[in-house]
Structure 1
Amino acid sequence: MKVNGFLLTSLLGCSIATASSNRPLIHLTPEKGWMNDPNGLFYDRADDVWHAYYQFNPNSTVWAEPISWGHSISKDLSTWEEKGIAIASNDTNSGIYTGSVVIDRNNTSGFFNSSIANEKRIVAIYTYNTPTSETQEVAYSLDGGLTFKKYSGNPVININSTQFRDPKVFWYQPSQTWVMAVAQSQKYSVHFYNSKDLKKWTLVSEFKQHGILGYQYETPNLVQVPIVDSTNSTKTSKWVLFVSVNPGALIGGSFVQYFVGDFDGKQFTPVSNATQILDYGKDYYAFQIVDNTPSDEVIGMAWASNWQYCANVPTSPWRSSFSLARNFTLQYANTNPESEVLQLISTPIYNGLAKNGTSYHLQNQSLETNSSLTFDLSGASNFTTGLFDFELTFSSNSSAFGNADFAALDIYLKGVNTTEYLRLGFEGNAKAVYLDRSHTNVNFVERNPLFSGQVSVDIVPAETLSETVSVYKIQGIVDRNILELYINDGQFVSTNTFFFSDGNYINTIDISTEVNKTFKLIDFQAAQYST
């Protein structure tokens, strides 16, 4: 990621609030300093450890050079241990920008001798940014990814551009070659290169001016994704190209689009020129695939923020976090009654958590206007962690809307101080899931109109029972100041940060409606967790 001049101006004028106790528990954050794009995500099969690198400046809570690669590790993708800087910038005016990591098992690069086990032959490919150029460089690790030695022959690619960045490299087995996807950002082009040794690269194709262009392309990723059917069986696969755009999101700021297609080792061919949206929330950008997963699953993570306001959010001594890791598959899904489209399905990964408080499981409960359902997550100990999930399957009967101008199933997520809360739910006339994150006492939320208070996702039913009755599913994961919503088993996803007063964690779920005989809770579950 490269910060543009007009964005940098806003960063320099930011104000900082303190909310240290609101640090997420299972979303990766740095102990202190600035974080943005995920870099070099990979799994070490020898040690059973997940590695995450990221754009990092430990001495600032706004984006500022020098940018280095920070590094954290995890055994479960939920709890993280920070390991410090892995690749440092050469000087205060340059940066080690976004890139990727591969396992060079066969030592195609020649960087390793027999003392380095095959699974430990870790090579990083990244963008080196200076005031006058962006080039692609290579570094390798001899200590399991803790530190890296820069290749003496750098740069490995130089096209004399200041807007050429974010290489994602992977091994293409059919032709026994390395493939790089890298953005010539302001030409709206993804370049594809081939290499036999990670040092000498040949341009083989370009993917230009597709989808939503916005201001610039960034962080391209290409991966083969399995297609699953309704029984979760895998029969075939397609390739998916992810392209981040900033600014240019339809709801403002940063977002990630993707294209489904075919790849022959040199050229990506989309099945359609139509773009699709990876996440419909405000806070999901710079997506990256994890390399070398245990069973070659497609797992990815993103930066959970937005360049419109990332430098101003009220957290200290750190700024920004990652999303949860997600497992991705492709599935043919209805986008309307007459069309079926191959779409990504997202499944959140969060492991190793202990239930802490009261858990709930409710079935077949009709909702009426004169009653609401209240669930206190803190339990008998009255202890609130701020980390919980809920799953709601419900039916909506459109024949009962009558003249209601807002036929809503409301879900209120209330803090211990109930003046601060999230309002989310489903509106039947629009068939949309909505979120209102504006009900807070934090000045930043009120004063910054770019931190949109209300966001929504237009959806289709998970199941249609009759002409007027449809079924929908909403799964939510709340981690202190981040809410991730997975709708209809991950067909639609929305990631959004929110900010309450320091230490005011959500501990209560209220579910209600203002229309009778419309909504029925088929199944509801909720639980609070600690790490």
Structure 2
Amino acid sequence: MYYDASAESVSRPLVHYTPKAGWMNDPNGLFYDRSESTWHIYYQYNPNDTVWGSPLYWGHASSKDLTTWTEHADALSPSSNDSSVFSGCVVVDRNNTSGFFNDSINPEQRVVALYTEHSPVSQRQFAAYSLNGGYTFEKYEHNPVLDGNSTQFRDPKVIWHEETEKWVMTATRSHEYVVQIFSSSDLKSWELESNFTRHGFLGYQYECPGLAKVPIVGNSSLVSSGVTHKWVMFLSINPGSPMGGSFTQYFVGDFDGKVFTPDTAETRLLDYGKDYYALQTFSATENDDVLGLAWASNWDYAAYVPTYPWRGSMSLVRNFSLREYQPNSEAAQLNLFSEPIINYDALRLNQSIQTNATNIKKNDQLFFNLSSSAHGLLDLSFEWTVNKSNVGKKDFSALTVKLIGATDKEEYLELGYEANAQAFFFNRGNSNVNSMKENSFYSDKMSANVEPYELLSENEAVFKVHAILDRNIAEIYLNDGVSVTTNTFFLTDGNFIGALEVRSSVDDVYTVSNFNVKTTSG
């Protein structure tokens, strides 16, 4: 494929992985090589165009710090031009249960991929193994290892279940709204154990399921009784998101190696933004940390975003934990918390701004000019206190941070909180990029309900936000990650954020404290 280098977008994210060229969607095969201290990711990849289409390959990248990435040659290719390598996973078969390896292969590099081989007439689960730590793969000669006799049977995610000493696979019968759970002793022969059927939002189809054993942190009745972990079922759907298009949901419960039993009937949203899909967790992490990566786009408009010569980016890697959360005065529940992983030592820190606590008046503002070379990543965190006794019921009582373009100040983003709605908002609609302004599915405003981080009194509540803006992706973590909203945004190419302005629409309601801004150069 020929690319015009002069047309390349300069707004390529710095720490959200993007391929050099071509189309990328779902993350696949995430694993950690402990022997080399290297993280590997694979992904759905069309190297021949900037839109989805067959044949699809597994692209491949690696990182030492989950922040800076090195792209490698394609790792898996389809069997024919009318087939594709669809989503799947990678496990580290340290004990050589598969028999694919000999003693010359380091146990930490006994890498086996399980993936969907898609053709016009079937979707079947294949196995492949690597003899060089995941850089190239050899397909198992007796594939498929699992055939569901269906054109909609896909996305295997495999984990090692310690208690039963077996491999466990989740895969979807996508159009039947079924997650099937299989077990195996050798990664080659699989036995159906149970079905997880018609749970949560259904939408058009289920995709990309996964099970993870997630630690419980903080004070809770479960921890007091000796329960340190719960199981989480991740499940994506497209289309059918309550925000439009594609999204990822999750369920908290128990798993005995055969059956996943959710604690309650409700589903939860993993991210309240438009651009967080097909989450997958890493295999072979140290300390059994649950780290996950998602595709930072939405099928509603992914083919039309103004990036070149690539389309598609990954989210930041997040560290997941379960904590007790009280969404209202009557209920408490375990909720997934998300912590972003960025190694700032690997980036060039350009500027750091801090302020003292400031009461924001209606006609005042906090204004910060960013360095002229701050055209990379912007990290913003602050707390705000809401004095509810001064909130009029008819007022639009908003605290707003305006992030203003450096070269075209008419382009800007907004994030903030409105007291009567008791919700956080993000606005990406003030852009001059016509391809997105004219796209009816590219919603320009998003919101997320969030309870106070801390109550100081009956009328005073504290909230926290941590926003990471990486050229054309914003990940916003509320109250230490109890809620997250991830959204791409597209200002005119090269119009990086040049200033911040903090305003309030009312008097004596908002006090801002611990306001911190960090920027990095590109």
Alignment of 1:156-305 (within 5 A): 156-230=145-219, 236-305=228-297
Pick which of 226-235 and 114-123 moved more: 226-235
Is the 8 Å Cα contact of residues 170 and 179 (structure 1) preserved in structure 2?
yes
Q: How far, CA to CA, are the matches of 1:437 and 1:18 in structure 2?
A: 24
Query: Please, which runs of 5 or more residues in structure 1 have no aligned partner?
Result: 1-16
Q: Which amino acid in structure 1 is aligned with residue 442 of structure 2?
A: F
Do residues 529 (structure 1) and 520 (structure 2) align? yes
The correspondence for 2:361, drawn from 360, 368, 376, is 368
The correspondence for 1:399, drawn from 363, 380, 389, is 389
Other structure's SS at 1:174 match:
coil
The correspondence for 1:79, drawn from 65, 68, 78, is 68
Shift of 1:72: 0.2
The correspondence for 1:104, drawn from 93, 107, 111, is 93
Alignment-derived partner of residue 42 in structure 2: 53
Shift of 1:460: 1.0
The correspondence for 1:316, drawn from 304, 308, 312, is 308
Is the 8 Å Cα contact of residues 353 and 529 (structure 1) preserved in structure 2?
no
Is the 8 Å Cα contact of residues 22 and 48 (structure 2) preserved in structure 1?
yes
Other structure's SS at 2:192 match:
strand
Question: Could you give the per-residue CA deviations for residues 255-286 of structure 1, whole angstroms, max 9, x where no partner exists?
Answer: 00000000001110000111001000000000
Q: CA RMSD in A?
A: 1.5
Shift of 1:402: 2.4
Other structure's SS at 2:389 match:
helix
Q: Which amino acid in structure 2 is aligned with residue 279 of structure 1?
A: D
Question: Could you give the per-residue CA deviations for residues 475-496 of structure 1, whole angstroms, max 9, x where no partner exists?
Answer: 1000000000000100000000
Identity of aligned residues (%): 50
Shift of 1:19: 5.8
Alignment-derived partner of residue 3 in structure 2: none
Q: Which amino acid in structure 1 is aligned with residue 461 of structure 2?
A: S
Shift of 1:526: 0.8
Alignment-derived partner of residue 429 in structure 2: 438
Shift of 1:365: 0.9
Other structure's SS at 2:420 match:
coil
Alignment-derived partner of residue 379 in structure 2: 389
Q: How far, CA to CA, are the matches of 2:48 and 2:98 in structure 1?
A: 34
Shift of 1:370: 2.1
The correspondence for 2:27, drawn from 38, 41, 51, is 38
Shift of 1:405: 2.5
Q: Which amino acid in structure 2 is aligned with residue 446 of structure 1?
A: K
Alignment of 1:423-502 (within 5 A): 423-502=414-493
Shift of 1:399: 1.3
Q: How far, CA to CA, are the matches of 1:271 and 1:230 in structure 2?
A: 19
The correspondence for 1:411, drawn from 394, 401, 410, is 401
Alignment-derived partner of residue 518 in structure 1: 509
Shift of 1:312: 0.6
Is the 8 Å Cα contact of residues 68 and 346 (structure 2) preserved in structure 1?
no
Query: Please, which runs of 5 or more residues in structure 2 have no aligned partner?
Result: 1-5
Shift of 1:331: 0.5
Question: Could you give the per-residue CA deviations for residues 45-102 of structure 1, whole angstroms, max 9, x where no partner exists?
Answer: 0000000000001111000100010000001111111002000112221000000000
Question: Could you give the per-residue CA deviations for residues 435-472 of structure 1, whole angstroms, max 9, x where no partner exists?
Answer: 11010110112110100011111111111122211111
Q: Which amino acid in structure 2 is aligned with residue 423 of structure 1?
A: E
Task: Calculate the TM-score normalised by the size of structure 1.
Answer: 0.94
Q: How far, CA to CA, are the matches of 2:201 and 2:298 in structure 1?
A: 17
Question: Could you give the per-residue CA deviations for residues 118-174 of structure 1, whole angstroms, max 9, x where no partner exists?
Answer: 111000000000000000000000011110000001001112100000000011111
Aligned residue pairs total: 512
Shift of 1:109: 0.5
Is the 8 Å Cα contact of residues 19 and 501 (structure 1) preserved in structure 2?
no
Q: How far, CA to CA, are the matches of 1:348 and 1:211 in structure 2?
A: 26
Is the 8 Å Cα contact of residues 359 and 377 (structure 1) preserved in structure 2?
no
Question: Could you give the per-residue CA deviations for residues 284-312 of structure 1, whole angstroms, max 9, x where no partner exists?
Answer: 00000011112210000000000000001
Alignment-derived partner of residue 334 in structure 1: 326
Is the 8 Å Cα contact of residues 55 and 81 (structure 2) preserved in structure 1?
yes
Q: How far, CA to CA, are the matches of 2:365 and 2:50 in structure 1?
A: 42
Q: Which amino acid in structure 1 is aligned with residue 451 of structure 2?
A: V
Q: How far, CA to CA, are the matches of 2:168 and 2:395 in structure 1?
A: 53
Pick which of 309-318 and 368-377 moved more: 368-377
Do residues 344 (structure 1) and 369 (structure 2) align? no
Is the 8 Å Cα contact of residues 228 and 235 (structure 1) preserved in structure 2?
no
Q: Which amino acid in structure 1 is aligned with residue 106 of structure 2?
A: A
Q: Which amino acid in structure 1 is aligned with residue 94 of structure 2?
A: R
The correspondence for 2:103, drawn from 95, 109, 114, is 114
Is the 8 Å Cα contact of residues 18 and 314 (structure 1) preserved in structure 2?
no
Shift of 1:176: 1.0
Task: Calculate the TM-score normalised by the size of structure 2.
Answer: 0.96
Is the 8 Å Cα contact of residues 283 and 305 (structure 1) preserved in structure 2?
yes
Q: How far, CA to CA, are the matches of 1:355 and 1:69 in structure 2?
A: 31
